[in-house]
Structure 1
């Protein structure tokens, strides 16, 4: 029997063993089943395809117990039962009595000292609340776990009522539901069955509005209703319509209007499953119309929290209709004016009010920004109250950090910030950082070395564009949070193979098109790169590659790298809870476009520095979808391409793409995947992942299921796929070139499991990843279950590393 067959048999044995363990442990958490009771094991909703199953699931009153990866293992119930066995309520009652006696005795001996008595009472209450928490929620195991959920017929009837109400609220007025229960051993399987019948459609919408001005606004001024004739009736659309009308009117002067004035009547007597909606907008009591407001004046108070007793000492200055009040003239009113969207004689607008508050808060100048309206005296006055943050701020931080290709290591960082630089509302900041990480050697993947990285940055940020733009255009930009950043920095990197210093200068502009979508344009991004040291082993490898036509060595010569770039980022609740979160980012970066300008002006000497010309682009999409009470499905796809077109034919080393590592395809060590079908064998015919592998094309995707197990502990199962490729055929790395007819067969696949420890402020991650498809192996033996997968030279597990372990900080994406 050959090695491949033996390994396949071992795999099947392992798989059967897992199934056996799952079967034998099927009773975990069920040993304390109550006699005559049935555990709610499964709930199923049978409904037509046009009914939203996710919304129906929310109608279930009882929630079944969570199980381990869907297996019949009630581990939360087992944990809860373990806690119940050790729980003794009398112990906590006794502790409460002892605490009360202890503190009451201390208080009685305190005498007439109110502050001390109050302090003792506070401590006493804190300790008593802790014991009350134990009495109410149980001990730690009981809080981590959950009791077994038994089928309750009364709760099932409530679910039926919820489903029927849902059908009514969504236009299925003649719909109905029922349920049936199947009992197997001590378990109950509940099936809810829905019949919707024909839905009621909206035939017409009538507006009954007594206020003439509001009637004109809604009928003549392009108000768009969400109630469309011919669509199915949905109660949530009525709620949305009420909110929409309220917001519309509040943005058109109606400061004190509320949606309680909006009423609906539904007429279902039209026949043919059609209905009419009558929308009535009521008038205020004893009034013939709703009041609307125009702003009489806008008052900006720059130091609302000042302790200066005599507020009469505040200076008053009017700039373009806004009254500024301050003790000291610290702010440029011209800049502030671009962030204030409230002006005299404008109609009151809730949207402009919130935008003003948001834009002023985003400047990182003010401690708080409050906006209120004063209607006394017959005037409508907008008051903007602000309080400045400390002009100087120092912060420092220590902790663990990790890059995409390394092991966690300690770091120390510090920053000094000065706000309102030059009294132009800008921010001047100096920050420094030094850290150590464990990284796989670029020339010896079996060893991990310390990588020292340090850097210092000096930056200036201003809340406006420093560009030759007209004042009118700058005012149009004010809703988009425009910012200018000028930054100068230096980074030092000390690796076993080389030492590298990068001096960087950037000038970038950022703006938002919505609250969740942002553009960043780097007009100037200049890097002066020096590599004063390259180890002999690595230098010899680079020279060997150079002699075979691979000019990677040029990437390690002293260089001048210039580029500009445009980046778009869209984030939709990616870090939120309970709903689908999405992230999308893309960058396009032309490099070396103006090299001729630098050389012709003799700013740069191309005889002593390498110059690069390239075009680099990258797309990154991620999504997190809730799948259960504590489970999430995370997905990522990343595509990148870089095209060098300069005389040296290479990219700066930092601009290449790499595969493998804790945030990439985890079944390969950092930067060891690919390129393409390159087989990683040396001149002796042995598999070696000695050297980092770079490429110009990247394709990478991941699918990961995450679930909370207990307390701070989370579990994960994942699949990663991807690879890197070169643009041109390389004799030194045969099979590395990207080709449309072969790249699919060169996608690497890895899978694995992991644990995460979520401390809220820090997440520590352990992943174990297995190679499932290895494109470096011959066709026909790339899949782990295929014959020949472990044939020579891939039978040396120490070299091929079928399992790779990662210790990291934070989620992989």
Structure 2
């Protein structure tokens, strides 16, 4: 028999097996149904109207179908695998084990047609369309049964949609009515637009929010009535907003703030509030009852936005509560307003604050592996004090240590060890010569940090790294965040450089830059914008931009210039002078309830000048690895088309870094079942040197840089364990810029059946969290 005939027979056999599986999955889901009942497989809505545009009619049908209940079992390609797992699991004898897991975690109970109430659904559809202005809508319902499967069909026949002819607001003598009238230009109800009950409700909320800003603390939307008159005109309505006659008198009055009481040691278990006179402190407009003298009074002056005599407004009310929460020292924040006993139309404000533990220790243990075949662990021990100087400052002292072992590959035996410590102090305010106080709901912060790290690469070298920084962190709102370090100093010094590594430097001079002494200082700025927390949006984005300026003013003042052999030093160490910019843009497209397309673009550039010939190694860009181009091992890709010369006697793969970076990633993510999510991804990018290096031919950027883009693809699983996400990605290279031009595409060389190919090209990445 020929190979071609063999191949055809195998293909036919697979198709028959696949068809049989589909048939079994489809049929077996109905044989378990109760006698006389049917499997409900969904409902449809048809809008019969010749006036509504086809596009609007389809949109209305989609909205109405979303209201039908119950929802049928989830399906995939016409099959219902969750229901199939539920059926084959049978009845578990105990609440654990494989059968119980299949039935209750993976499986899904059948949705029976007996649970479908056609009349109820018809009334829901009728109410919805009438609330959208299609008054006197008719709805009919029917069902179809075939092969023990039932569907429901609804026909909606709306009348012509009513349009808003006019909108009027209260015109009485109340001050409140005048406020409502002045805000009418912001009304959500527009003449000429369709009648919509949801918009009327939203308009009441809008008016209430406006009144809350003007002191009307006791008012609420239920005190507003929308009178709708549809008796005159051709499918038009007149809407009149009025204040109900039964509105309480206190809701018609604006209130000011009188006394402000703060209880920083409030206990939920004991709220009798019996205090000694010495526990009561008067500070400006506040009365502070602090039994343990926990906080300096100015903490509350910066946090509470109400002052005595202020008109109540919801903005300052919410701003104060959010800032108390964001101080990070309270587990519970409660606020009450009560009518003042001494002043008419005034409120006394009470803030009850429950403290978090002042001191706590946190231990973090992390296991990790990466695509460079390193497997290791890291431990962090942190001691924290939430109120270090009685001003809600956060003091943190931590020690950390870790080890990465390479169990195979070219770096076997060259393990990495690190040990270090860090102390930081964060103030909940800006510490500047000027009085700067933001009005955001997020508390601005000033942070000072001192850090030391010792890193040893066995058989090669060790590095001592010192860093200190002082800067500011602030958020404009929930979407925009800034970090400015006005002082950021890093000093790196080599230690225990082995003769072997010195010999390697003779063969590859670029390796010498890794162990050069480095002094880096200058301001850094970081800006982040994101709206990914808005779950209902179909498109969300994340943007992060970094600007790093090192030694710029010092270099200009001293006239440093390495080209003129005029390199300046501080404590006998040349300081770095460069400008570095990096941007990270991400886009998330929601494709369904449990699926999305996530994409990322990273662009980075660093330019060394003046006192520096190149960027410090620690500041250069790298590519490849678990959170980068996953088909290439960490830090081994690039720069450009550079390849380590084959005659080099290095017994390990050195890290590769450069001045420029371009990277693009995209992946499709979808929930498979239970806690398991799947992904299909595509990565591309590379790094380049800005200037030619004779020791690294092909590493510099050129007009043909796009021909040096590396490409990889793969599939992955993510296990959502609620407290963390465990990620596994299996990737293969599709294009390798290190190969000769014309031979870089590898698609035609893919051979999963070849063991040698799998060993060289299948890259497994195991990590915590999503790559982006």
Cα gap change, 1:228 to 1:437, in 2 (>3 Å): farther
Q: Secondary structure at the match of 1:253?
A: coil
Is the 1:542–1:553 contact (alpha carbons within 8 Å) kept by the matching residues of 2?
A: yes
* 2:727 aligned residue: 765
- Whether 1:611 aligns to 2:572 is no
2:688 aligns to what?
725
State whether residues 316 and 326 of structure 1, in contact with CA within 8 Å, keep that contact through their aligned partners in structure 2.
yes
Gap change, CA 1:719 and 1:509, over 3 Å in 2: same
Q: Which runs of 5+ in 1 are unaligned?
A: 1-5, 93-130
Which residue number in structure 2 is paired with residue 801 of structure 1? 760
- Structure 1 Cα separation of the partners of residues 232 and 371 of structure 2: 64
Tell me if structure 1 keeps the 8 A contact 2:170–2:181: no
CA distance in 2: counterparts of 1:781 and 1:401, whole angstroms:
35
C-alpha displacement at 1:644, in angstroms? 2.1
Q: Which residue of 2 aligns with 1:128?
A: none
The answer to whether structure 1 residue 325 and structure 2 residue 289 are counterparts is yes
> Taking structure 1 as reference, are residues 768 and 478 closer, same or farther at Cα in structure 2, changes over 3 Å only?
closer
CA contact (8 A) 1:635 1:702 kept: yes
Q: Return the match for 2:102 from 131, 136, 141.
A: 141
CA shift at 1:243, angstroms?
1.9
The answer to whether 1:661 aligns with 2:657 is: no
For the structure 1 residues 395 and 54, does the alpha-carbon distance in structure 2 shift closer, same or farther, using more than 3 Å as the test?
farther
Q: Who is 1:216 aligned against?
A: 178
Contact 1:39 1:186 in 2 (8 A): yes
Alpha-carbon spacing, 1:711–1:578, altered in 2? closer, same or farther (3 Å): farther
2:653 equivalent among 690, 703, 711: 690
In 1, the alpha carbon distance for the partners of 2:539 and 2:25 equals: 32
Pair 207,266 (structure 1): closer, same or farther in 2 beyond 3 Å: same
Q: Deviations over 1:150-197 (max 9, x none)?
A: 677956776666556554444566988999999997878999898999
- Aligned in 2, Cα 1:317/1:33: closer, same or farther, shift over 3 Å? closer
How far off is 1:627 after superposition? 3.9
Q: What does residue range 558-577 of structure 1 map to in structure 2 within 5 Å?
A: 558-574=517-533
**1:509: Cα distance to partner?**
0.5
Distance 1:12 1:401 in 2: 45
Q: 1:463 is matched with which residue?
A: 428
**Matched residue SS, 1:636:** strand
Label 1:599 to 1:679 Cα distance change in 2 as closer, same or farther (>3 A).
Answer: closer
SS across alignment from 1:296: strand
For normalisation by structure 1, the TM-score amounts to: 0.78
Q: Quick one: structure 1 residues 310 and 288, their matched pair in 2 at CA, closer, same or farther if it must change by over 3 Å? A: closer
Between stretches 265-274 and 410-419, larger displacement belongs to: 265-274
C-alpha change, 1:34 and 1:790, in structure 2 (3 Å) is: closer
In the TM superposition, residue 382 of structure 1 has moved relative to its aligned partner by 0.4
Match of 1:428 in 2: 395
For residue 416 of structure 1, the aligned residue among 357, 380, 383 is 383
Per-residue displacement from partner, 1:702-748 (whole Å, max 9, x unpaired)?
33333333433333222223332332344555544445x64444443
CA gap of 1:756–1:796, structure 2 versus 1, over 3 A, is: closer
Does 296-305 or 373-382 show the bigger shift?
A: 373-382
Deviations 1:266-287 (A, max 9, x none): 4456656654432223244464
RMSD (Å) for aligned C-alpha atoms = 4.4
Partner of 1:76: 82
Residue equivalent to 1:705: 668
The answer to whether the Cα contact below 8 Å between 1:29 and 1:79 also exists between their aligned partners in 2 is no
2:476 aligned with 1:513, yes or no?
A: yes
Q: Where do residues 347-426 of structure 1 align in structure 2 (5 Å cutoff)?
A: 347-375=311-339, 377=341, 379=343, 380-400=347-367, 409-426=376-393
TM-score by length of 2: 0.82
Question: CA shift at 1:341, angstroms?
Answer: 0.7
For 1:651 and 1:605, the matched residues in 2 are separated by 16
Structure 1 pair 173–804 and aligned structure 2 pair: CA distance change class (3 A): farther
1:590 paired residue number: 549
Aligned equivalents of 1:800, 1:734: Cα separation in 2? 28
Secondary structure (helix, strand or coil) at the match of 1:456 reads: strand
3-state SS in 2 of match to 1:708: strand
Match of residue 96 from structure 1: none
Q: Distance in 2 between matches of 1:345 and 1:73?
A: 67
Is 1:614–1:643's contact at 8 Å kept on the other side of the alignment?
yes
**What residue is the counterpart of 2:605 in the other structure?**
641
C-alpha contact (below 8 Å) 1:303/1:327 kept by paired residues: yes
Instruction: Determine the C-alpha separation between the residues in 1 that align with 2:41 and 2:738.
Output: 46
Aligned with residue 255 of structure 1, among 191, 207, 217: 217
Q: 1:52 to 1:624 in 2, by over 3 A?
A: farther
Partner of 1:30: 26
Q: Distance in 2 between matches of 1:723 and 1:531?
A: 29
For residues 341 and 361 of structure 1, the distance between their equivalents in structure 2, rounded to whole angstroms, comes to 14
Secondary structure of the structure 2 residue equivalent to 1:255: coil
How many Å apart are 1:146 and its aligned residue? 1.0
Question: How many angstroms apart in 1 are the aligned matches of 2:154 and 2:686?
Answer: 46
Choose the corresponding residue for 2:494, options 525, 531, 535.
531
Question: CA 1:574–1:499 in 2, change beyond 3 Å: closer, same or farther?
Answer: farther
CA 1:232–1:433: 2 relative to 1, 3 Å: farther
Describe the shift of the 1:645–1:46 C-alpha distance in structure 2 as closer, same or farther (beyond 3 A): farther
- Residues 1:644 and 1:377: Cα distance change in structure 2 (over 3 Å): same
Match of 2:257 in 1: 295
- Inter-CA distance 633–572: structure 2 relative to 1 (3 Å threshold): same
Distance 1:806 1:455 in 2: 27
What is the rounded CA distance, in whole Å, between the counterparts of 2:284 and 2:160 in structure 1? 61
The 3-state SS of whatever aligns with 1:669 is: coil
User: Is the 2:642–2:699 Cα contact (8 Å) retained in structure 1?
Assistant: no
Structure 1 residues 307 and 155: CA distance shift in structure 2, 3 A = closer
| Greater displacement, 324-333 / 335-344 | 324-333
The structural deviation recorded for 1:381 is 0.7
Residue matched to 2:51 = none
2:565 equivalent in structure 1:
none
Contact map agreement 1:745 1:775 (CA 8 A) in 2: yes
> Helix, strand or coil: the match of 2:638?
coil
Counterpart of 1:666 in 2: which secondary structure? Answer: coil
Alpha-carbon distance, 1:585 to partner: 2.0
Q: Confirm or deny that 1:336 pairs with 2:300.
A: yes
Structure 1: distance between partners of 2:597 and 2:265: 48
Using the TM superposition, give the Cα deviation of residue 491 of structure 1 relative to its aligned residue in structure 2, in angstroms: 1.6
Question: Which residue number corresponds to residue 50 of structure 2?
Answer: none
Q: Which has the higher contact order (CA 8 A, sep 6+)?
A: 1
Per the alignment, do residues 529 and 804 of structure 1 end up closer, same or farther by CA in structure 2, a change over 3 Å counting?
same
Q: Is the 8 A contact 1:402 1:809 kept in 2?
A: no
Deviation readout 1:570-597 (Å, 9 max, x if unpaired): 3435496997664332222212224449
How far off is 1:612 after superposition? Answer: 1.6
* Aligned counterparts of 1:538 and 1:209: Cα–Cα separation in 2: 87
Shift of 1:198: 7.4
SS at match of 1:87: coil
Q: What's the offset of the Cα at 1:528?
A: 0.6
1:573 touches 1:582 (CA, 8 Å); kept in 2?
Answer: yes
SS in 1 for 2:253: coil
Alignment-derived partner of residue 95 in structure 1: none
